[in-house]
Structure formats: C-alpha cells, structure tokens
Amino acid sequence: MRIGLVGAGAVVRTLHAPLLKQFADVSVQWVYDQRLHAAREIAEAFGIPAASDDLSRCADVDAVLIAIPVGAREQAWARAADRGWHVLCEKPAARTTAELDSILRRMEEAGRVVAFALMRRFYDGTMTLRDLIAVRAFGDPLEIWAGEGSTQPRTGRGGDWYQLNKTLSGGGVLIETGSHLLDQMMIVSGATGCRLENYAQRAWTDGLEFDARAAGQLRVAGKELPFSAVVSRSVDVCNGLFVRYPRIVLSLPPGPAAEVELLEERHRAIGRVRGAGARTSFQAFRDEWRDFLRRCRDDAKPHATRDNEMVRLSVALIDDCYSWATAASPAVTCK
C-alpha cells in the first residue's frame, strides 16, 4: 500500500509516521504541508522520498492520511476523491453534519474508503464497556455520563496555534476534545440516535468556547437513555464514562490503560473488568491503521459501515450544540 501524509504536525511526527514504518507492506511515498520546512523535517526523519507544499503535484498513492485542521481540508478531500485515494482522516471528522454528509457522498461516488481516526474506539476499556452494555450484563442502563477536562491556566502554545482560530479548529474544546469523548459515548452505548435537550457553554468574545455542557437522550436498543456530557478547560471535571444501573455503576477512567471499574451504590470500587484491546496510545493507532488498511484492501464501501454512522451521531450532536449556543433553538434531533 502506497501512503501519502497530508499534514506534518505533532500527531504525524510522533505517532502516524513512526507507526507506518513498522508495517512491512506499507510504503509512505510523500508528506505534504503548507509549511514546507515541516514536511521536509518529517520526510528526512523517517526516510520518506518526497516532501511538498503543493498537494496537486504529489504522486498518486493508494491512500492518504488527512491530518490538517478541520477548517482547511476542502482541497485535500477534493484531491482524494478526484484521484481515487482512500482516506483515513484525523478527528474531528467535520465541522457540521452537512459537511460530513458532503464528504461521505463525494467519497462514495469515487468508490473509495473513508474512515476517521477516533483511536479511543480501540482502547481496551472502550471495547470492554461496549461489550458489557451490549450483552446486558447488568440489565438495562438508566443513564450515561461523560466528562473530560481540568483547569488549564495556559496552553503552552503560541498565538498562531490553530486551536485558537475558530475557523480552522471548527470551534473550541467541544469539537476538539469532545470529538473523542462523545464518540466513545456513542460507541459504548450502541446508540442509533440522539436528541439534544439542553446545552450551555462559556466562550471568548469570538465564540471560541472553553467549557461545554450538554444533556439529552440517546436512542439505545429502541429505548431512550438519558445522557450528560461535560468538556472543559476552565474547571476540574469528573473524568471518564459512567453508566448507571439500578444497583451498580460501570466506570471507565480516561486513558488507554484504564480498566472498567464496578462501583457499588456508595461508589466504592468492588471489581474491575479487563479485555484484550489496546492498552497504549501507540497500540490504538496501530489497530486503527490495521483496520483501515484491511478495509482498503477489501474495497469496503465507505457509506456501509456502522463506524461512520456513529461518527455522524457525534458530529450531529456537536453541530446541534453550537447551533443551540448561537440561536437558542428548541430541542434538536440528531439523525
């Protein structure tokens, strides 16, 4: 498989590029970035033959990784569809549901596979919690909570960091960190629908939010399951996923090595459950690439995967949250 890298940021340098070197049947042909010096640094570090700041001049490949800010991907998606490249795209998948639908439609017409790099899906804890809920090990859940965040007095980044630009980043902490957290919530619950009932955020004057709180109903196994989610960079949050049953809570702390904890009524841990999934970030990225490359070889249809239906649910929820904040709209349904 011939691979191209669209983007030369930290996630490519520290995870994707070194990982792909370990696949014997994969050859990285080039790396593209508007910052030519950054593309050249990665090419030199990992023995990649070519570096470019002009995507139209990059050689044909079988698949590409898109790892540039969500607000700057239009050209990359157009090139991929026109030239018949499969795509693995870093999170967030899209800024709006309409944008995501347009991407999936374009790639379907091109007959190419598209997948989104939501690597927490491959965490051992995520897979274990999903299975426990699916087999109804403790009956039907009553509620699910999701939280991630802490007080962050400074970012440690310069003023040109793309996450400080609402157009490039797509919003604030909800679309960045929330993309992972909400996707985890959809995956473990097996949701097939979502209705937003309340949303509140704190944001700078330019609309870049740093604290987001949502509540509503997930559609799970034909029933409604109440959910609440908090993502923040201004206050400490009870981090993780929590699924409440009548007499027990299943808790999944953050991080790839976390195990599902069984909490009794007073929230005292009484046991842990461990599966066979990834227990480091590197393993999760490896499993993500393995799954994507398998789908490319099998010519899986991009629109026919349950994975992308889940992606659409979390994108739609984030889209509705931002619409709620700007228009104070009534309850909106994510379809």
Is 28 a residue whose pLDDT tops 80? yes
Answer yes or no: are the C-beta atoms of 182 and 147 closer than 8 Å.
no
Residues 16-23: what's their mean pLDDT?
A: 96
Residue 30's Cβ-side half-sphere holds a number of Cα atoms within 13 Å equal to 18
In this prediction, what percent of the chain has a pLDDT beyond 70? 95
d(CA 284, CA 184): 14
Is 3.40.50.720 the CATH number for 2-119+285-302? yes
Predicted pLDDT at 302: 54
Which residues, 6 or more positions from 160, have their beta carbon under 8 angstroms from its beta carbon?
A: none
Predicted pLDDT at 328: 63
**For the chain, what's the residue count?**
335
Predicted pLDDT at 160: 78
pLDDT digits (tens, 9 = 90+) for 162-220: 888 788 888 999 999 999 999 999 999 999 999 999 999 999 878 889 999 999 999 99
d(CA 161, CA 157): 6
Residue 92 preceded by cis peptide, ω within 30: yes
| Residue 158 pLDDT grade (very low, low, confident, very high; cuts 50, 70, 90) | confident
Is 113 a residue whose pLDDT tops 90? yes
Answer yes or no: are the C-beta atoms of 317 and 194 closer than 8 Å.
yes
Predicted pLDDT at 165: 79
> What is the pLDDT of the chain when averaged over all its residues?
92
| Residue 335 pLDDT grade (very low, low, confident, very high; cuts 50, 70, 90) | very low
| Residue of 22, 9, 107, 39 lying closest to 285 (CA atoms) | 22
Is 64 a residue whose pLDDT tops 70? yes
Is 334 a residue whose pLDDT tops 70? no
Question: What is the value of pTM for the model shown?
Answer: 0.93
Is 103 a residue whose pLDDT tops 90? yes
Predicted pLDDT at 305: 65
Is 80 a residue whose pLDDT tops 90? yes
| Residue of 54, 1, 62 lying closest to 31 (CA atoms) | 54
End-to-end CA distance of the chain: 35
d(CA 222, CA 219): 6
Quickly count helices (H) and strands (E) in the chain: 10, 15
d(CA 105, CA 233): 35
Annotated domain spans of the chain: 2-119+285-302, 120-279+312-334
Q: Give the residue, 332 or 171, on which the prediction is more confident.
A: 171
Residues 106-118: what's their mean pLDDT?
A: 94
Q: Which fold has domain 120-279+312-334?
A: Dihydrodipicolinate Reductase; domain 2 (3.30.360)
Q: Name the pairing type of β-strands 143-149 and 240-244.
A: antiparallel
Predicted pLDDT at 303: 45
Between the alpha carbon of residue 81 and those of residues 74, 112, 202, the distances in Å are: 11, 8, 38
Residues 73-78: what's their mean pLDDT?
A: 96
Predicted pLDDT at 29: 98
In this prediction, what percent of the chain has a pLDDT beyond 90? 84
pLDDT digits (tens, 9 = 90+) for 244-278: 999 999 999 999 999 999 999 788 999 999 999 99
